[in-house]
Amino acid sequence: MRIHPRHARRRGFTAIEALVAATILAILTAAVSAALAAGRSQSKLARDTLSASFLAQTMMDEIMRLPFNDPQGTTTMGPDPGEVRATFDNVDDYSSYTDGPGNVKDSNGLLHPITDIAGNAYPDTYQGFVRTITMTAVSTTPTGWNRTLTGLLVTISVSKDGVELVRLQRIAWE
Ligand SMILES: [Ca+2]
């Protein structure tokens, strides 16, 4: 086989060629790493949003199963004397309720995870979130309907690391 003399003289890469190759490799590596990192953070965000949706929806169901008015007749917003989440008996008892993030210890050194109504902590996938409930009075007088409807706009916000992932709103009519 004939070898062209110019090629025959070449052995390996010149310093410039090696430098160019190394630079291209570095740029490609950085681009691939960035794409991988973006993909990872995208799927983490998707997972967290799904968990946050579950936490918002289950809490909304828990609130909406209750009657609007307190059976004892109290009308102040928020829990009535002696009431805790497991014994809340009307919608507004949940006003200003908050739970999570689960890595905060109280004065007794106990963690405060997000739990179901019975106090059982949800699995790890659902921890690390902060779930807050706010309620605002609303009223409307639909045209042609001779009465005013009053209720509470229930807003459940679920956030993680200070970023709100899900905001779920429903109106509980009186
Ligand atoms: Ca109550």
pLDDT at position 56, please?
98
Cα of 135 from ligand 1 centre, angstroms: 14
CB 138 within 8 A of CB 151: yes
pLDDT at position 112, please?
73
Helix (H, G, I), strand (E, B) or coil at 38: helix
pLDDT at position 109, please?
73
pLDDT at position 52, please?
97
Using alpha carbons, select from 90, 55, 86 the residue that is nearest to residue 76: 90
Cα of 69 from ligand 1 centre, angstroms: 8
Q: How far apart are CA 42 and CA 158, in angstroms?
A: 18
pLDDT at position 102, please?
74
Q: How far apart are CA 131 and CA 100, in angstroms?
A: 6
Cα of 86 from ligand 1 centre, angstroms: 11
Q: How far apart are CA 31 and CA 42, in angstroms?
A: 16
Q: What is the Rg, in whole angstroms, of the alpha carbon atoms belonging to the chain?
A: 29
Residues of the chain with pLDDT under 50: none
pLDDT at position 3, please?
56
Q: In angstroms, what CA-CA distances link 20 with 16, 24, 26? A: 6, 6, 10
Using alpha carbons, select from 157, 162, 172 the residue that is nearest to residue 59: 157
pLDDT at position 34, please?
93
Residue 157 identity (one-letter amino acid): S
